[in-house]
Structure 1
Amino acid sequence: MDKNELITYIPEPVHHRSEVREIAAIDLGSNSFHMIVARIVNGSIQILSRLKQKVQLAEGLDKNNVLSQEAIVRGVNCLALFAERLQGFKAENVNVVGTYTLRRAINKEEFLRQAKQVFPYPINIITGQTEAKTIYAGVSHTQPEMGRKFVIDIGGGSTEMIIGDDFTPIVAESRHMGCVSFAKKFFPHGIISPENFYQAKQSAADKIEDLAFEYRTLGWQSVLGSSGTIKTVYQVIASNIDPYGIITQERLSRLTEKVLQVKHFDGLRLSGLNEDRADVFVPGLAILTAVFENFGIQQMRYSDGALREGVIYSLEKNFQVKNIRQRTAFALAEQFNVDLKQAKRVQETALLLFEKVTHWHNYKYRNEIKDILLWASQLHEVGLVINHKGLQKHSAYILQNMELPGFNKEQQRLLSILVRYQINQLKTAELYKFPRYCEQDILSLIRLFRLAIILNKSRQATEPISQITLKFDRTLTQWKLQFNDNYLANNPLIKNELILERKLLQEVGLELTFQ
């Protein structure tokens, strides 16, 4: 990457703030109703609140697809609660979608009639394929994976399976199998048995068997799962097996062995399993296992973006950009009034230094960590809005705790770590352990970033570096910087900062020389 390509990281200065628009998205699911309230600021979405209520609409659907009055009342009461939060919202800023259970219910008009009495916004009951495509949009707008993705969403009444490239779905299917409907059919009265579990798994396999050839032929680069069932499996794996919750066939088998030792839903005691999901966890696990086996999935990562986020992003037409992180970073730079010229100077120096490093322990993530280094360069001063004193701590706190669409949890943590240790003491003992990134690579990245900050300390008065050499010993412990003639003599402030940096590095057993 050369300097001209930095345009993809640094936005042009914006001279005025765009109008703030508040929006809401509501997903009337078969198990729970969800509402997100957000606002659009500077081209990005900021989540203001999330509301969720377990309604179990699908439990009220009988064999003739008639929705019981009890289920209707539960749903209407929830919508009345949502309406309280939405007072003052215009209809065009609220998007409400009904999914599987409302699609199937032959008396859906009665539900809509009763809902209208307490909820003044239109409810759109969407097709299974529309639901699938909207889920795909929600995942694509919130996760960092680019290229071909396989997205799977197991809801209360249906399961959606979509393969797409970037933002564009190629195939999207919805099948009538969900954790609530399967709980009713295969686990009556909450009874767990090997026979019940394998009947549920086989039924799910039968429903998706015809998709296997087409999906496997299309292939995928990454697999992402969304919504309650997959979130719960992720949480249980994270609490018991792998702190990052990566879902694999072997881990699903281990969970299956555990749950089959229990005789009833009430007896499930798994770390990470919320009490309100106990009655749908086992049927959801059976469906997910069938999906893994049918498509030959090796591993899956959980996505916290799904149908609701897809509905949110459909309310604004200007969100579809190739790089989600770019959109997120641009919005943060505008929101926190970042000095874009200084950010660009730091980015250019960070990139120059990065390209001097020829050895990375985990080379396959080289481009990924370079991107994160450049985003850190853009956003390292967001903490100035709090106070210049402790800037690095304020900036790290903001970046660690904000929702950052396009960054997964590890990328967000690495971004925060870089910003946290941009100046002052480097406490290597406090660095997070990352299963994705090598500890030595993280340390090298931090050192590069600190040097980029030092070499631009004078901001607009900084003399551009025309020539710089960076050499290392075999252990990457000893670094040697060599500048063009008279550079340090002409920049005594930078020389003093390098002397201080050498002392700080010596405290943690690292060496820096320069001339």
Structure 2
Amino acid sequence: MRIAVIDLGTNTFHLLIAETSGQDFKVLYKTNVPVKLGEGRINDNIIIPAAFERGISCLKNFKETIVGFQVERVKATATSAVRSAGNGKKFVAAVKELTEIEIEILSGEEEAALIYEGVKLSGAIEDLSLIMDIGGGSVEFILCDTEKLIWKKSYNIGAARLMQRFFKSDPISDQDKNEILVHIQEALTDLFDVCELHQPKTLIGSAGAFETFAELVSAEKNKMIDVATVKSYPFNFDEYIALSIKLINSTHQQRVEMPGIIPLRVDLIVIAALITNFVLGRLKINQLRLSTYDLKMGILANQIQRY
């Protein structure tokens, strides 16, 4: 059976098409489009008209691709930007009317559970770990080991939200950084409490910004990894820390010129580095790993199990 998975993220819309046979699958097609659905007013909980239209246009193109691949089942899900927007349901209705694609709006808890399923599929979970998925609208944390999910929660501290609210300088000023870190500290109190109890050994970054970190670290060693083909990548911790400090201290133009940063992520990567470093430091974790499998792979795994 051919299954199409559509993930409507706050910054990026993803389409994955896979051929399934029993529990096995082969990815036939994969793309992502920087729709920036949360542009401008994500903290006002609204999808602005230009972003609304970009989203519709992208999904019309996705529909043409899905038809071309003769897909039998389509599963489309939306996360933080649509979930929190006052006109999110209007967007979902417009998509249904114009493309016949039905979108399920995931709760933060559902999103976290599916991220766990995707990361588990990658083989990245080798010990007691904390998974972190940095989206544009929300950040999901999942505490787990090789056998089970222990705890999960979604927080509205996504990179686009923090950037629109706090990132006002170039390079980012100490004041902007401190305001972001105070906000994160206040938001993540219960995460730190549960991790104090369980003491996770490894932080696993789910795709997105962590793929950029991996590409930048490997590029500096002239050993560029292909995130399209690897499932998991263990960071050298010191190399990651050196890179993250370089990113945080850099100007917008310096980041533009770094090979490995896609245009969408040039400024968002600074926020991602700040969040990651704060969590690593606060929890005293010194092992970091990338899982290139994320929410959409979790959705695919879920669909395979159902059908």
Category of TM-score, reference length = shorter chain: 0.7 to 0.9
- The reply on whether 1:117 has 2:104 as its aligned counterpart is no
Equivalent residue number for residue 107 of structure 1: 87
Matched residue count: 296
Equivalent residue number for residue 266 of structure 2: 278
Equivalents in 2 of 1:179, 1:186: separation in Å? 10
> 1:259-408 counterparts in 2 under 5 A?
259-263=247-251, 265-268=252-255, 269-317=257-305
Equivalent residue number for residue 391 of structure 1: none
Deviations 1:371-421 (A, max 9, x none): xxxxxxxxxxxxxxxxxxxxxxxxxxxxxxxxxxxxxxxxxxxxxxxxxxx
Equivalents in 1 of 2:170, 2:95: separation in Å? 31
Equivalents in 2 of 1:222, 1:284: separation in Å? 17
Equivalents in 1 of 2:212, 2:127: separation in Å? 26
1:307 partner letter: L
| Alpha-carbon shift at residue 164 of structure 1 (Å) | 2.0
TM-score, reference length from structure 1? 0.54
1:288 partner letter: T
Identity %: 25
Q: Which has the higher strand share?
A: 2
Contact 1:43 1:318 in 2 (8 A): no
- The reply on whether 1:76 has 2:56 as its aligned counterpart is yes
Structure 1 residue ranges without an equivalent (≥5):
1-20, 320-515
Structure 2 residue ranges without an equivalent (≥5):
226-232
1:299 partner letter: Q
| Bigger-Rg structure (1/2) | 1
Equivalents in 1 of 2:83, 2:23: separation in Å? 34
Q: Once superposed, which parts of structure 1, at least 4 consecutive aligned residues long, lie more than 6 Å away?
A: none
Q: Could you say if the C-alpha distance between residues 145 and 83 of structure 1 is closer, same or farther in structure 2, counting changes exceeding 3 Å?
A: same
SS at match of 1:316: helix
| Alpha-carbon shift at residue 104 of structure 1 (Å) | 0.7
Q: Could you say if the C-alpha distance between residues 160 and 248 of structure 1 is closer, same or farther in structure 2, counting changes exceeding 3 Å?
A: farther
Deviations 1:98-137 (A, max 9, x none): 0011111011122112212332121000111110110000
Equivalent residue number for residue 71 of structure 2: 89
| Alpha-carbon shift at residue 221 of structure 1 (Å) | 5.0
Contact 1:208 1:294 in 2 (8 A): no
Deviations 1:292-347 (A, max 9, x none): 1222221111001000000001102279xxxxxxxxxxxxxxxxxxxxxxxxxxxx
Equivalents in 1 of 2:271, 2:212: separation in Å? 12
Equivalent residue number for residue 198 of structure 2: 218
> 1:392-431 counterparts in 2 under 5 A?
none
Q: Could you say if the C-alpha distance between residues 252 and 205 of structure 1 is closer, same or farther in structure 2, counting changes exceeding 3 Å?
A: farther
Equivalents in 2 of 1:63, 1:139: separation in Å? 29
Equivalents in 1 of 2:31, 2:239: separation in Å? 31
1:126 partner letter: L
Aligned-residue RMSD, C-alpha = 2.4
1:158 partner letter: S
Deviations 1:26-68 (A, max 9, x none): 1100110001100113531100010100011111435431221
Equivalent residue number for residue 52 of structure 1: 32
Contact 1:60 1:70 in 2 (8 A): no
Structure with larger RCO (C-alpha < 8 A, sep 6+): 2
| Alpha-carbon shift at residue 283 of structure 1 (Å) | 1.2
TM-score, reference length from structure 2? 0.87
1:118 partner letter: L
